Structure 1
């Protein structure tokens, strides 16, 4: 297990996921991820969705193998547990207190090599905001053939195009507000950022999830039933990646021990873009 720290505070732990059951699509993940005041903003294996694991690269389907975990959506029949789960196997971790670098191999349901991911995760203090930023960058290389990424939406479930870098947020029993730039419906929005806020008994928290303006994917977000969000790789249609090409996935989360509004979120996002 590897940790990320801000000063003397441990703010995130990186787990290899090798002990996860096969039907959960084993993968490395971050948990717990906490604010500077120690409030956890991740959850693993919750009763409602046992396959949700903190912050992880949880693409739903690649060439027919499942990397999200749990049941697969079968049109007209709903979700069914199929024998289609792949796994991610991480190589040696190169780490400092502020960065994790790792090469990850995606193995399909039969254990065959499917693709190689170069992963970098960083932690950065944002002193002007009394918070910190967790950045996750995954570069997926189609080094074994053409790849097709799918989701429940590409199989017929409208609005369920989830899959990719995904953050399962703790506090599902609390009222959670989701807002995007310009207002409107967060689900499916192509706003460059998504703001989630909660008023907790231990104090308010905000999580600003940000994408790069150069590549904005539609947001998948849930605030009812459970709380989770991330950019969707295959929101409405399958995404194809030819052999030899690569797909870059980026997600930055800013963790704050207070509530902020959308104007403040916009200013914070602009500063993040200037830092990158």
Structure 2
């Protein structure tokens, strides 16, 4: 994990999270990755890194580059989530983004996003399909979460996510 790109002008900062997983099984068997959806529970495809928001984000605004509202099971460069805080008269916006190199990952990710009953966003590795990691092989993913003060709009989110470089 790395915290960086603190921007006092926009009251925002970035947190990058990376994972590299290698199958080191001594029996030579593959590791299989799935989700509750791949096991038969419809639209419960959470796997990978997941943010579970506080209660005051329940019912918050969820949007992506071209969509508003329900992004469950979709693919795209980013979703954002804005919530209103209970104890103060204010909002926060969280932006979730894939590193460009994730496009070459072992398996394409989908977004697991919901505002109710529990606000959550996951970079889901195996939303709709299982995948195997063969013995001796590895996979890597890198993600960015930008935390910002205020209720940001689509254009402001897109601009902030253009930098800094990965």
TM-score (norm 1): 0.53
Alignment partners' CA distance in 1, 2:53 and 2:47: 15
Alignment partners' CA distance in 1, 2:58 and 2:73: 23
Against the structure 1 CA distance between its residues 173 and 230, is the aligned structure 2 distance closer, same or farther, given a 3 Å change threshold? closer
Aligned to 1:78: none
Gaps of 5+ in 1: 1-120
After the TM superposition, list the runs of 4 or more consecutive aligned residues in structure 1 that deviate by more than 4 angstroms: none
Q: Larger radius of gyration, structure 1 or 2?
A: 1
Cα drift, residue 139 of structure 1: 0.5
Equivalences for residues 176-255 of structure 1 within 5 A: 176-183=60-67, 185-201=70-86, 202=88, 203-215=90-102, 217-255=109-147
Cα drift, residue 228 of structure 1: 1.0
Cα drift, residue 262 of structure 1: 0.8
Total equivalences in the alignment:
154
**3-state DSSP class of the match of 1:187?**
coil
* Kept after mapping to 2: 8 A contact 1:195/1:207: yes
Q: More relative contact order in 1 or in 2 (CA 8 Å, sep 6+)?
A: 2
Aligned to 2:14: 133
Alignment partners' CA distance in 2, 1:154 and 1:123: 33
Against the structure 1 CA distance between its residues 214 and 198, is the aligned structure 2 distance closer, same or farther, given a 3 Å change threshold? same
TM-score (norm 2): 0.85
**3-state DSSP class of the match of 1:214?**
helix
* Kept after mapping to 2: 8 A contact 1:165/1:249: no
- Given the alignment of the two structures, is residue 159 of structure 1 paired with residue 43 of structure 2, yes or no? yes
Alignment partners' CA distance in 2, 1:175 and 1:223: 5
Alignment partners' CA distance in 1, 2:158 and 2:85: 23
* Kept after mapping to 2: 8 A contact 1:172/1:223: no
Q: CA RMSD in A?
A: 1.7
Aligned to 2:156: 264
* Kept after mapping to 2: 8 A contact 1:180/1:189: no
Cα drift, residue 269 of structure 1: 1.4
Gaps of 5+ in 2: 104-108
**3-state DSSP class of the match of 1:193?**
coil
**3-state DSSP class of the match of 1:155?**
coil
Cα drift, residue 173 of structure 1: 6.4
**3-state DSSP class of the match of 1:197?**
strand
Cα drift, residue 162 of structure 1: 0.6
Aligned to 1:123: 3
